[in-house]
Amino acid sequence: MKKKKKKRKVKTNRLHVYTPFGKSVIKDSLAYKGSFYLFVICKVLSVFITYYLWRAIFSSSDNSELGGFNQVEILTYVFMSFVCSNMVYISMTTKIGENVVDGSIAINLIKPISYKSKLFAESIGEMIYKFIVPSVFVWIGLEVYKYVILDEFSLSGIRIALFLLSSMLSFIIYFLFEFCFGMIAFYSTYVWGMEIIKNSVLSFLTGQIIPLTFFPDFAQKLFNYLPFSSMNYVPVMIYLGKISSSELIFSIERQILWILILELISIALWRRVVKRISILGG
């Protein structure tokens, strides 16, 4: 009996086992700075392009509000969308795909660690890194710009806290979704094409390109039943103060619900997949 207890202990996830993986991702990112900064510049540039596009739309329109957004709000939406998605969208599909294609998944499986927990730790590491470069700076820049140039300041501590909380939930939803999606790699081996399709579909469904209020009613209702709006749209709308207090609790509850659902799906998928693993490359 005693022996059995001892054995079971091995299974429990110990946090400090996984922290080195998170740390190592941060170190890796620092090791390849050049490519990362180029990547960041590209991304920031695309945010500015999106923003100027919106400005052009506003200036050619007679209304001062479009889809419930005024010009300052759309500015906030576009940039906060970037702040949030930059740190929340951490793609694991490619990583899982790589592990499958080069067979290095074997190395993960011969160690007494859970593959999913390891990936999660790595995701957290990457998220922390991306929060610092450049999300937090874009965020501060945006608020400074709004305060100094536009003379607008509507932030409160609670709203920042709620935004961060909701973003964290988004991060977990996104991770679980990516993990489930990454399981395709075990069946199809190459996931690059799928990844491209997934990313473009997601950028629409998560409201990253266009706020979801711009979509027709039936589409908006449909989005309510999908996990995607919980990934980016919800935290940004919370930040904008566009989700009222009663709705706010509902939104966060829905995020938590999605975490539970996706967690169950991911466990079921992993169980299936582990049985049919074949290690490529000898």
Tell me which residues touch other proteins (CB under 8 A): 7, 10-11, 14, 16-17, 20-21, 24, 27-28, 31, 102-104, 106-107, 109-114, 274-279, 281-282
Q: Between 71 and 114, name the residue whose CB sits nearer to other proteins.
A: 114
Rounded to the nearest whole angstrom, what is the least distance from the CB of residue 70 to other proteins in the complex? 47
Tell me how far, at minimum, the Cβ of 10 lies from other proteins, in Å: 5
Question: Shortest Cβ distance from residue 6 to other proteins (Å)?
Answer: 10
Name the token pair of 142. Answer: 């945006």
CA distance 245 to 11: 41
Q: Which of 114, 92, 100 is nearest to 279 (CA)?
A: 100
Classify residue 11 by burial, with Cβ atoms within 10 Å: 0-12, 13-18, 19+: exposed
Closest CA to 223 of 235, 238, 213: 213
CB-nearer residue toward other proteins: 112 or 216: 112
In angstroms, what is the minimal distance from the CB of 176 to other proteins?
20
Give the residue with the Cβ less far from other proteins, 8 or 64: 8
Q: Which of 140/279 has CB closer to other proteins?
A: 279
CB closer to other proteins out of 109 and 133: 109
Structure tokens at 118: 């390891």
**Which of residues 102 and 247 has its CB atom nearest to other proteins in the complex?**
102
Alpha carbon distance 103, 99 (integer Å):
6
CB of 21 to other proteins, least distance (A): 8
- Look up residue 260 and give its two tokens: 């539970």
Burial classification of residue 96, based on how many CB atoms lie within 10 Å of its CB (0-12 exposed, 13-18 middle, 19 or more buried): buried
144 near 212, Cβ under 8 Å? no
Q: How far is the CB of 23 from other proteins (least distance, A)?
A: 9
Task: Please state the φ and ψ torsions of residue 92, each to the nearest 5 degrees.
Answer: -100, -15
What is the rounded CA–CA span in Å between residue 73 and residue 64?
A: 11
Q: How many CB atoms lie within 10 A of CB 167?
A: 25
